[in-house]
Amino acid sequence: MNHPHVFVAMADILNLKCDAWLLPTDSTLHIESHWLPAHPELRRLATDSASVSFRDGAALAEPIRPWGPDAPLPVMTAVPNDGRWTPAAVAERLEAFVLSAVAAVPESHARPRRLLALPFFGTAGGGAGNNLGAALRAILDASNELAYRFGVDLVLVLRDKAAFSLAQKLRREAPCHATWPSLDDQLHESAKDLGGKARAGHLVPFLGAGVSVSAGAPSWAQLLDKLRTRVNLKEAEESAFEGLGVLDQAGVLEQLYADQHGSREAFGAAVADAVDLPRYGLAPALLATLPSAGAITLNYDRLFETACTDAQRPRTVLPENVPAVGNNWLLKLHGSVSQPESIVLTRDDYLGYNSNRDALSALVKAHLLTHHLLFVGFGLADDHFHEIVHDVRRALPTEVSRNHQMGTVLSLFHEPLQKLVWEGKLDILPMSGDAPVPGSCKDEVQTAINAAGRKLEIFLDMMMAYATDNHSYLLAPAYSRGLPRGESELRQQLLTLAQQPRAETSAEVWGVLEGALASLGYTPGHNYERNELP
């Protein structure tokens, strides 16, 4: 099933790979300063792009032109700024944005549906005021209706933990088939189960190249092809090169770079240049909010760590930052573009891995023993990974080793032979049916991969909704509207408790209570009475 979908992510919309995004403004073309990094002349471009109809309020949305073809297109949208923040006003603005974006952006070859990004507009001096809970509900409701009407995917990009926690709660309260209709019952149950594991702190993501593909990152084969264009390979050597395995192809290219560019360092720099992308896709943005102490990746790029920073869960990158401070770390097993000399790509790199990085492998092995690993964008063909799994199983007693499920693999297609190989070790969860048969039309294969990749993003979206264990919206100052009746009453009771006088004899207990109140969004000193509206 390929239903339109509304995603929710904690991210920076300027760093997210999408087709178009809503730029909040008004008929006077006021643009807040935090949008200016999108372009050094954003305000001038907005002024030049605005028609008379937009300025007089007849048109509510218009794209900014000219704009770079490879960058997501900003669509100026006049958001409510006069206090008339009603569901109808929100829906009217969102419809204008979607109409304008669909007309301006051609259908994507990389995704089955266009991806349009929405910020939580109206929160920085706009019409939402102190009714952020009600405003968030209105945006979600309108987005779901518009996604279906126009056949597009929308992603609500949030910067506030309270908004994110409330949005996920609202989505969990709706029937699964209404919020995630593209997933069947088995995937629904698996997403809930993995979300629960994450919420309990038992899940650790293990990220492969597929996580970065939606941002335009090359696959392994595409990377080698790209590297090959920068060296001269003699015609007589072409067929012999094609017959080599990928590790040996990489070794040949490294030597050619050394011969033709003056040093082996040129090869690492070329690899870094090929994979260092400016914007992350949905998969890193969704996984960035996973409540896990650690994460592991084979990718060289910086997309996931950037997404984690934008999601307000920054990670210490290992091994380049040792010792790591705190629990949020990301282990880059095969090196990073920030240190091109660390990249593992050739056969020599792999053979020398154990002698240089025993401690890193040991960290992975420990997590295979003590946590449930979630493999995303991973083809399970990596020799180093096979070696780690083998060592872990060898370290376990025979009976335990036979039945120790080390993790779950989110695969694009049903692969019965892989399932047979990893039975009793890893649970393989396919997003779609059988993989395209060998010899299929290249375009058909890519279409199938794109569709399965999008379904994986939807699965991650649901999993993250159930992994979210945060209720900071409950006492956040501007979220009194939009809460269910029971939570509204609980909010008032907790606010009454928070404002009670503190006695010295109960200081220790109050310390515990204040920590709990802070986790629910309570802001000491804020005038809650003024914000409570009838």
End-to-end CA distance of the chain: 43
My answer on whether 32 and 117 are in the same domain is: yes
My answer on whether 301 and 398 are in the same domain is: yes
My answer on whether 450 and 433 are in the same domain is: yes
Per-residue pLDDT of the chain (534 residues; tens, 9 = 90+): 789 999 999 999 999 999 999 999 988 899 999 999 999 999 999 999 999 999 998 999 999 999 988 899 999 999 876 656 688 888 999 999 999 999 999 987 778 999 999 999 866 555 555 577 888 888 999 999 999 999 999 999 999 888 999 999 999 988 999 999 999 999 999 999 999 999 999 999 999 888 988 888 887 778 888 888 888 888 777 888 888 887 888 888 888 888 888 877 888 888 888 888 899 999 999 999 999 988 988 888 999 999 999 999 999 998 777 665 567 889 888 888 888 777 777 777 766 665 556 677 777 777 777 888 898 987 766 666 677 777 766 666 666 566 667 889 999 888 887 777 777 778 899 999 877 877 778 888 888 888 999 999 999 999 999 999 888 888 888 777 667 788 888 988 998 888 888 888 888 998 899 899 988 888 887 877 765 443
My answer on whether 155 and 38 are in the same domain is: yes
24 neighbors 126 (Cβ within 8 angstroms): yes
What CA–CA distance (Å, rounded) separates 534 from 530?
Answer: 11
What CA–CA distance (Å, rounded) separates 164 from 142?
Answer: 17
Q: Collapsing DSSP states into helix, strand and coil, what is residue 184?
A: coil
DSSP 8-state code for residue 346: S
Residue 325 is predicted with a pLDDT of 55
For the chain, give the longest Cα–Cα distance. Answer: 87
What CA–CA distance (Å, rounded) separates 221 from 233?
Answer: 17
My answer on whether 271 and 284 are in the same domain is: no
My answer on whether 202 and 340 are in the same domain is: yes
User: Has residue 168 been placed in a domain?
Assistant: yes
Residue 123 is predicted with a pLDDT of 63
User: Has residue 297 been placed in a domain?
Assistant: yes
In the sheet that 153-158 helps form, which strands lie side by side, from edge to edge?
A: 6-10, 153-158, 115-119, 20-25, 73-78, 61-63
Residue 83 is predicted with a pLDDT of 58
Residue 238 is predicted with a pLDDT of 80
24 neighbors 159 (Cβ within 8 angstroms): no
User: Has residue 49 been placed in a domain?
Assistant: yes
User: Has residue 379 been placed in a domain?
Assistant: yes
My answer on whether 427 and 356 are in the same domain is: yes
Residue 55 is predicted with a pLDDT of 93
My answer on whether 383 and 489 are in the same domain is: no
Domain housing 287? 198-215+280-467
User: Has residue 156 been placed in a domain?
Assistant: yes
Which CATH number fits the domain that encloses residue 155?
A: 3.40.220.10
Domain count, the chain: 4
Query: Which DSSP string corresponds to 128-145?
Result: TTTBHHHHHHHHHHHHHH
User: Distance of alpha carbon 411 from its chain centroid, rounded?
Assistant: 17
My answer on whether 423 and 450 are in the same domain is: yes
My answer on whether 295 and 435 are in the same domain is: yes
Residue 237 is predicted with a pLDDT of 79
The residues, ordered by sequence, that sit 6+ positions from 125 with a Cβ below 8 Å of its Cβ are: 32, 81
My answer on whether 135 and 239 are in the same domain is: no
User: Distance of alpha carbon 375 from its chain centroid, rounded?
Assistant: 15
The residues, ordered by sequence, that sit 6+ positions from 483 with a Cβ below 8 Å of its Cβ are: 133, 473, 474, 491
What CA–CA distance (Å, rounded) separates 377 from 338?
Answer: 22
User: Has residue 476 been placed in a domain?
Assistant: no
The residues, ordered by sequence, that sit 6+ positions from 309 with a Cβ below 8 Å of its Cβ are: 315
Is the bond preceding residue 319 a cis peptide, omega within 30 degrees?
yes
What CA–CA distance (Å, rounded) separates 89 from 5?
Answer: 22
Q: What is the pTM of this model?
A: 0.90
My answer on whether 31 and 150 are in the same domain is: yes
